[in-house]
Each structure stands twice: as structure tokens, then as C-alpha cells.
Amino acid sequence: IFESADGRHCRFLVMKRIIRILLVEDNDADVEMIRESLRQGGLSFILRHAANEADFVHELQEDSMDVILCDHGFPAFDGFKALELARTHHPEVPFIFVTGALGEDVAIASFKNGATDYVLKSRLTQLPHAVERALREVDDCAARKQLERDRDQLIHELKETLAMIKPLTGLLPVCADCK
């Protein structure tokens, strides 16, 4: 309930977006910590979990995720390989590293390779904000692309209209003073 400018009370039904998250993590305890952090951050989400490369590749083929969260250090499968696979299959899906440690050089390399963000496991309270920010950026990008398509369509329509009007210019009587 909120009070409007004219003093009336209004009710709103706010529907939260249910975020489809793919988590690539081989440690079950970390999966639960991440799940709890997202829950405490107020996110509504469905979490799918991949513990290894085969599971991750299978999940990538499902094509139903809004964001990918990925640990960096796996014994046989590292985060950069996961990032490469994600960019190949779903380049538009934000990819956030959630890792125990990420040195400055590795962080820079992750951004150069297309990661959206990274959050240290010691600072999981930042994870919900990172997810929301990444999704906002995706929404903003989609809106910007739609505006560009709309602009291009209007330009095309304007050119067509001008092309139809141009032959008519010689048919209109013009007074000597109007030239």
C-alpha cells in the first residue's frame, strides 16, 4: 500500500520475475551457500545445478536460463572452459563467476573473455545485486536494440513516403511569391 499525491491509498500487486539460474559448482556445501544467499537477497529463482562439464553441456542445450553462475576452479573443468562454452551456446546470457579466490589477472582475463561479473564466495551478500545488475543490463540492451529497430523502420517508412511525394511536387500550382 502506498499513498498517492492526492492522498488516496493504492494497492499494487508486484509480480517478481522468476530468474532461471544455472549454477556450475562441484561443491554441494557451496551450492547451498549460494542458494541461501540468493534467497536472502530476495530473489525469486529456479536453480539448476551442474557439477561437471557433461552436466553443464547438457544444461546449455536446454536453452532456458537467465543467468549462469560458475565456480572458477574445478579439478578437471575450469571456469574459462565453461565461459567459452556458454558464450558459444548462449552469448546473450550473463555469466558471473562465483569463486573462492580470483586474482586480479584472472579477473581481468575473465572480463576480456566475456564474463559479466564475479563475486567472491567470502562476499556472497553481493551476489543477488550482481545477478540483478546483470539482468538489468540484458534488459537495457534488448530495449536499446528494439529502439534501434523501430528507428530504422521509421527511417525506411519516411524514405518510402518521400519517394512517393517527390513525383508530385511538379503537379502542385505554386504562386510566384511562394517560390
More confident residue, 12 or 46: 46
- How is residue 125 written as a grid cell? 551478500
Least trusted range by pLDDT, from 69-78, 86-95, 111-120: 69-78
State yes or no: pLDDT of 2 exceeds 70.
no
Contacts of 4 (CB under 8 A, 6+ apart): 10
Predicted TM-score (pTM) of this structure = 0.75
Per-residue pLDDT tens over the stretch 22-52? 999 999 999 999 999 999 999 999 999 999 9
Residue 110's pLDDT is: 82
